[in-house]
Amino acid sequence: MSEEEVELEARLAEQDEFEPPASFVEQANVSDPGLYEEFGENWPECWEHAADLLEWSDGYDQVLDDSNPPFYEWFTGGELNASANCVDRHLDERGDEVAIEWVGELGETRTYTYEDLHEEVNAFAASLRDLGVEEDDVVTMYMPMVPELPIAMLACARIGAPHSVVFAGFSADALATRMNGADSEFLVTCDGYYRRGEPLEHKSKSDEGVSGVDHDVTSVVVDRLGDDYDHPTIEGDHDYDSLVADHAGETVEPVPRDAEDMLFLMYTSGTTGQPKGVKHTTGGYLSWAAWTSQAVLDVKPEDTYWCSADIGWITGHSYIVYGPLALGTTTVMYEGTPDYPDKDRLWEIIDDYDVTQLYTAPTAIRSFMKWGKEYPEKHDLSSLRLLGTVGEPINPRAWKWYYKHIGGEDCPVVDTWWQTETGGMMVTTLPGVGNMKPGSAGPPLPGLDVQIVDTKGEQVEAGRAGYLTVQKPWPGMLRTLYKNDERFIEEYWAEYSDTDSDDPDDWVYFPEDGAKIDDDGYITVLGRVDDVINVSGHRLGTMEIESAIVGVEGVAEAAVVGGTHDIKGEAVYAYVITEDGYEGDDDMRERIVAGVEDAIGPIARPEQVVFTEELPKTRSGKIMRRLLEDIANGEELGNTSTLRNPDVVTEIERKVKGD
Ligand code: WT7
């Protein structure tokens, strides 16, 4: 390092507050600090600003109907179509401009202008109708990052059929559970995709999933691998390309949807073993995705914006598909891994396409850091104007590395806290307004009432840890869990609300995150306080993993916790007791890993499987997870005298350390 660099490094290491770069503020979509006050004073009407970003076929009567909390309704009486908003309305002004830039892993590219997107979305919407999809039928998508995925989502939205996208890395079982849960009779899937240059088969996994669905399924298969894979077919399969060719040139009128009609379902993990079907609506969700894209990601139509998430998660829904396309910008989609063919793949794409914003996850940033600054240095990244992160807390060191080596100290970094249920961003700085404090997400967005409280619901003092709560509704919020209002209340509201009240002030949303707030209102999110762990920004339920492990022959009992991991944030640690007559050997370990992969997918694969005779339990028989976490993290163990079986702790500790 040169002397100058050493100096800079030292300055960055000390600095804990950064002003937004003046060059950014000058051109920012939002640069007026008065917005916080304005929205606060004019709530809930302030959210008309979000609705105004959309085109409504019929105007709404009321911004918020809060007469039946927590079943809030937004923009009631309004009608709109999400596909028309993301495609049709840009045709006049931006028909020839690029909507989707797709980069395949092998280096092939596809460019869809808004005109192209309109054509293909219409042809596929006509195909879906032809297959019998009707308004309100749930269509499942089980696909990797191919352009047909957003096209299918928009085609569904066009005909008023909610979609339910299942991450392609999930297992066949996970697909079946979600299709059964959503009563979904239609599936759009794919023969496979490329990973590290090699074809990866997907169709047989998909077929296996379908065989676990308890009703008939009609499938459409996208042929991504061509001659590289002669994929199997099953009854009810249709070929995507043939359908689209048959319906080429047809147009399908976008179906006007009520603001509160379901746009999509997205399954996510919770405390119990059963994934939750989060319901998002057409008016509120789309307004939220558009408004936050504009205010936080500073998206403008002329941008080439890139969110490197997978569309199989909420981040991809809101910030690859709906937010950016609603604003008429160019959204980049990359099929593959960030280190194929080399570790500069992202920087190469940014350089090639003059990408203006990059939105990624802390786990990715930590990998980039490990690979070294020489990779970004090989490329011209000066097109970048803003950087964002999401998915888990970002450590200040990774934040600063991102700010310096990717943003060239010229781009604001937005650390955005939100979750599947919130539909879009909730806590973050506005990049053209607030100072950035690495490690702290920032204040709640204007118009949001976020408070950090103790177990009784009282606000905690500045600097103290507490629980993050949202005290007022917002347009992007989930409306319920699919066909399960009771669980919706139980999971998100029961903790801090008076559930007998019909006064909205008595209802408080609890996202199950711990946090602390500083004097200046900046919020540092500390992580989940329920049995959910966050592996590489992916949310996994420990109960789901445990039930997969207990399903393996010879396993008597299992406890799963998250242990800290340098790159992934958290990693899965499984503590397992075998049944009599079974050995905790390598074969057993392999079968456990395979069991988890089959039930959930490789993302949930345990990093460590520790066989033990007993699990540490309290006298009342509850597993002491906190202790198992401490062991996984190699931390000093607190008092173990309250345990029924304190000796087991030393034994487990020894095994984890590998002594
Ligand atoms: C959980 C939600 C948000 C889309 C991707 C994940 C954690 C998310 C942050 C952040 C600290 C964060 C929370 C949250 N989380 N963003 N900026 N700082 N933690 O969505 O799968 O629904 O997970 O991710 O724990 O509850 P998700």
Tens-place pLDDT, residues 174-226: 999 999 999 999 999 999 999 999 999 999 999 999 999 999 999 999 999 99
Residue 419 CB less than 6 A away from ligand 1? yes
- List the CATH code of the domain at 531-658: 3.30.300.30
Residue 11 pLDDT greater than 70, yes or no: no
Residue closest by Cα to atom 3 of ligand 1: 419
Span 279-299, mean pLDDT?
98
Q: Which atom of ligand 1 is nearest to the CA of 269?
A: 21
Residue closest by Cα to atom 27 of ligand 1: 419
- 623-641 pLDDT, tens digit per residue, is 888 889 988 888 887 777 7
3-state secondary structure of 390: strand
The rounded Å distance from CA 537 to ligand 1 centre is 7
Domain spans of the chain? Answer: 531-658
Percent of residues, the chain, with pLDDT higher than 70: 98
- Using CA atoms, how far apart are residues 199 and 440, in angstroms rounded to an integer? 40
Looking up tokens 């699990």 gives 615
Lowest mean pLDDT among 136-140, 227-231, 499-503: 227-231
Pocket test for ligand 1, best of 292, 307, 319, 418 (most atoms within 8 A of CB): 418
Span 450-477, mean pLDDT?
96
Pocket test for ligand 1, best of 392, 522, 535 (most atoms within 8 A of CB): 392
- Whether cis (ω within 30° of 0) applies to the bond prior to 341 is yes
- 299-344 pLDDT, tens digit per residue, is 999 999 999 999 999 999 999 999 999 999 999 999 999 999 999 9
Residue 474 pLDDT greater than 70, yes or no: yes
Residue 57 pLDDT greater than 70, yes or no: yes
The rounded Å distance from CA 528 to ligand 1 centre is 9
pLDDT band with cut points at 50, 70 and 90 for residue 563? very high
Question: How high is the pLDDT of residue 8?
Answer: 60
Question: How high is the pLDDT of residue 4?
Answer: 61
- Using CA atoms, how far apart are residues 553 and 555, in angstroms rounded to an integer? 6
Q: How many CA atoms lie within 13 A of 364 on its CB side?
A: 25
The rounded Å distance from CA 569 to ligand 1 centre is 12
Which long-range contacts link 398-403 to residues 24+ away (Cβ below 8 Å)?
398/362, 398/365, 398/366, 398/369, 399/365, 399/438, 399/439, 400/12, 400/13, 400/15, 400/438, 401/365, 401/368, 401/369, 401/373, 402/365, 402/368, 403/12, 403/18, 403/436, 403/438
Residue 602 pLDDT greater than 90, yes or no: yes
3-state secondary structure of 393: coil
How much is the mean pLDDT over the chain? 95
Question: How high is the pLDDT of residue 295?
Answer: 98
Pocket test for ligand 1, best of 311, 525, 536 (most atoms within 8 A of CB): 525
Q: Are 403 and 377 in contact (CB under 8 A)?
A: no
Residue 34 pLDDT greater than 70, yes or no: yes
Percent of residues, the chain, with pLDDT higher than 90: 89
Lowest mean pLDDT among 119-123, 553-557, 645-649: 645-649
- Using CA atoms, how far apart are residues 125 and 252, in angstroms rounded to an integer? 7
- Using CA atoms, how far apart are residues 29 and 166, in angstroms rounded to an integer? 33
Residue 363 CB less than 6 A away from ligand 1? no
Whole-prediction pTM:
0.95
Question: How high is the pLDDT of residue 97?
Answer: 98
Question: How high is the pLDDT of residue 2?
Answer: 64
Question: How high is the pLDDT of residue 659?
Answer: 62
Question: How high is the pLDDT of residue 657?
Answer: 81
Q: Which two tokens stand for residue 523?
A: 């919020």
Span 254-282, mean pLDDT?
95
- Higher-scoring residue by pLDDT: 622, 36: 36
Q: Other C-beta atoms within 10 Å of 487: how many?
A: 17
Question: How high is the pLDDT of residue 5?
Answer: 62
- Using CA atoms, how far apart are residues 624 and 640, in angstroms rounded to an integer? 10
